[in-house]
A and B are shown apart, each in its own frame.
Chain A
């Protein structure tokens, strides 16, 4: 490789391999595509965050004094649409999955690099539609686009936003297809399914849902667009259409979509917790299969969103029962992670602090889900702030924490720079404290009956709402700090070694940042995942062998 050292002494890597804006915009390198997603996603995260800030500002006072009711409707709708479809759903798979799946399985790229780039542009195009809808005056249907309001009555820019979500859906589907094929067909020699890092298992399960669920919501939303634009009658009750059918079709995807949003989080946590406990993950195959179990069961529970929508009581009972069942594989993960910690040599670097935060917050999010899957309590809690708090514990406390966890853990690999540990620890504290201060009061508010999606409320709830807004401020500072030191580290951060955390996995055996085609020679894997124990590490080091260069290959 010495011949590849550049004139300025810096070895060639995927970042300095080629230069210029075109070399990025037309790149087929999965690592660069991952970085492009990261930049775009962050922009959407900030847009969604601005709407969240407006919501919390309005709710500081009981009266609706900052926005009119209609404007407020648009605020929470656009917060939801942007955050769910353009931030959370792509987040970990599009950024970390893109960057790491080929590295972790010992491949030179994903199976279909052009399709991968196309997926990015579909995402960007869909995002442009959503932004256009926002700039032209917004949408007010709620992120769930319930008919008949969305199809027949709303005067906001629903069609534009729906087309955006539709296009973005195909980005998600094609990414799923790409990852699935990559994981099936591109693994290095010797890398059997049960030697894969759990990061890969989690993404495989996610891809399954993306491929099986997203097309259903795509056609459903398209029907709503047709209904608005051409005035066809499918969900419109004036023609005998059934608006509740929309809810069924919407949640058939949108409940599994919750797992699109959380399974990649599990995937990150499994890798990071093993590294910072210096132990193999406890119950590897249980954790692996629990991801698949969640993916499958996730398709059978959508009706728990419709307990009060007039669906049959018997259907509700079945949906309620299966929903309880999903708690089993989720709990399997939590217990296995806890046992991984048991007697491990735990190091509390900032990625590990995010893991700790994740486990606590996701557990609260999961357990409060059981209140909502219980028929009787759901009637009381439905459409209250209890629901809002519950899914934010899962989505922000779970997924966003896991995303930040993974970003810190793999930041040195992605950028070749270390993030500064001191500010990072401060950032975790801000995020964790701010998050809890924002959303714990909302559980209480919801239990007391404060409905979601209203811009005004009775005065006795003001104290808790002010706490929530104060928490959101701290949370925002935490995110701001994190973004700031990440950007700072790109220029001033310490140069990262190949493996700063002494982690195990193929991605850590190559330089930080990796070269354009990842591996000089494709590795041959002869060891199990996570060989952190002393005897396992010994066996790996004696057996680390790389495939001899093939004759027809220049390396």
Chain B
């Protein structure tokens, strides 16, 4: 009974589970359920965004024009690449390609993730210089859009910063998870028989990437045909 937890079970499943398969299925379902709540978390933001986008079409277009489409596109490419390296990390774990391979792909993912965050920092700094941070210092004056007043423009930038900020926070957490995975691989806790942690971390990483795939057009690309 109390010694039930030790030894007797095979190496790779925790005491509450009866088999490694049950543990794998639980972990995967758990991550999917967590992603569902993440979708609703961002969904609240997307919903509010949609409401204001419909109310202030002009202002959102104007605000979008002040975002740097070069950095935005670059970051999109970076993130898609990071999804690839992440998928490769999972694949190397599944195919027993050795810890060096797995760690290599994980490091590549971390580098791409940090590149994304670096670019984001550059963009945020630019907004700071242009007084587009949506706090009390926010200033708005764009002759190209004479009808757009400060208020709705500030709303656009509020969404821009909250949405990309929340996304960046998820990226930072993702980088943390990757570091943790590297530690796990180094401790030989990952193998072709047991790669659940890497796989569900991958699910998380891909989810965060997909959020950006929605953020990019909604924030950077709207009204570009003007």
Same complex origin of A and B: yes
Is B226 on the interface with A (CB-CB < 8 A)?
no
The stretch of A229-237, A345-353, A384-392 that contacts the partner chain: A229-237
For the complex, what is the distance from the CA of A252 to the CA of B51, rounded to whole Å? 15
For the complex, what is the distance from the CA of A185 to the CA of B10, rounded to whole Å? 19
> A111 to nearest B CB, angstroms?
4
Verify A216–B16 contact, CB threshold 8 A: no
3 A-B pairs with least C-beta separation = A239-B151, A215-B41, A109-B16
Verify A230–B134 contact, CB threshold 8 A: yes
Given contacts A211-B36, A240-B56, A552-B9, contact A220 B44 (CB under 8 A): yes
Verify B37–A173 contact, CB threshold 8 A: yes
What is the chain A residue whose CB lies nearest that of B3? A554
Q: List 10 A-B contacts (CB under 8 A).
A: A185-B29, A186-B26, A212-B40, A214-B37, A231-B135, A232-B162, A234-B159, A239-B152, A240-B155, A553-B8
Is B30 on the interface with A (CB-CB < 8 A)?
yes
Is B146 on the interface with A (CB-CB < 8 A)?
no
For the complex, what is the distance from the CA of A113 to the CA of B149, rounded to whole Å? 52
Is B67 on the interface with A (CB-CB < 8 A)?
no
Is B141 on the interface with A (CB-CB < 8 A)?
no
Instruction: Give the chain A neighbours of B155 by CB distance below 8 A.
Output: 233-234, 239-241
Verify B43–A216 contact, CB threshold 8 A: yes
Verify B151–A240 contact, CB threshold 8 A: yes
Is B1 on the interface with A (CB-CB < 8 A)?
yes
Is A334 on the interface with B (CB-CB < 8 A)?
no
Partner of A231, one of B36, B38, B136, B151: B136
What is the chain B residue whose CB lies nearest that of A18? B2
Q: Which of B37, B42, B48, B151 has the most CB of A within 10 A?
A: B37
Verify A239–B150 contact, CB threshold 8 A: yes
Given contacts A232-B157, A553-B4, A554-B7, 5 further A-B contacts (CB under 8 A): A17-B2, A111-B16, A218-B44, A231-B135, A231-B136
Is B206 on the interface with A (CB-CB < 8 A)?
no
Verify A215–B44 contact, CB threshold 8 A: yes
Q: How many A residues have CB within 8 A of the partner chain?
A: 56
Verify A245–B48 contact, CB threshold 8 A: yes
Is B161 on the interface with A (CB-CB < 8 A)?
yes
Verify A233–B44 contact, CB threshold 8 A: no
Instruction: Give the chain B neighbours of A22 by CB distance below 8 A.
Output: none
> A452 to nearest B CB, angstroms?
28
> A485 to nearest B CB, angstroms?
32
Is A249 on the interface with B (CB-CB < 8 A)?
yes
Verify B2–A233 contact, CB threshold 8 A: no
For the complex, what is the distance from the CA of A249 to the CA of B45, rounded to whole Å? 10
Partner of A1, one of B1, B10, B17, B45: B1
Given contacts A177-B33, A223-B162, contact A232 B41 (CB under 8 A): no
> B10 to nearest A CB, angstroms?
7
Verify B161–A212 contact, CB threshold 8 A: no
Verify A233–B51 contact, CB threshold 8 A: no
A 284-316 contacts with B by CB, 8 A: none
Is A328 on the interface with B (CB-CB < 8 A)?
no
Instruction: Give the chain A neighbours of B96 by CB distance below 8 A.
Output: none
Is B5 on the interface with A (CB-CB < 8 A)?
yes
Verify A234–B1 contact, CB threshold 8 A: no
Given contacts A215-B37, A218-B41, A240-B152, contact A4 B56 (CB under 8 A): no
Given contacts A186-B16, A215-B38, A233-B154, contact A4 B2 (CB under 8 A): yes
For the complex, what is the distance from the CA of A24 to the CA of B89, rounded to whole Å? 38
Is A107 on the interface with B (CB-CB < 8 A)?
yes
Partner of A113, one of B9, B16, B37: B16
Is A238 on the interface with B (CB-CB < 8 A)?
yes
Given contacts A211-B37, A234-B158, A238-B151, contact A555 B4 (CB under 8 A): yes
Is B145 on the interface with A (CB-CB < 8 A)?
no
Is A219 on the interface with B (CB-CB < 8 A)?
yes
> A453 to nearest B CB, angstroms?
27
Instruction: Give the chain A neighbours of B154 by CB distance below 8 A.
Output: 232-233, 239
B 37-81 contacts with A by CB, 8 A: 37-38, 40-45, 47-48, 51-52, 55-56
Instruction: Give the chain B neighbours of A212 by CB distance below 8 A.
Output: 36-37, 40
Is B180 on the interface with A (CB-CB < 8 A)?
no
Is B128 on the interface with A (CB-CB < 8 A)?
no
> A516 to nearest B CB, angstroms?
5
Q: Which of A213, A226, A239 has the most CB of B within 10 A?
A: A239
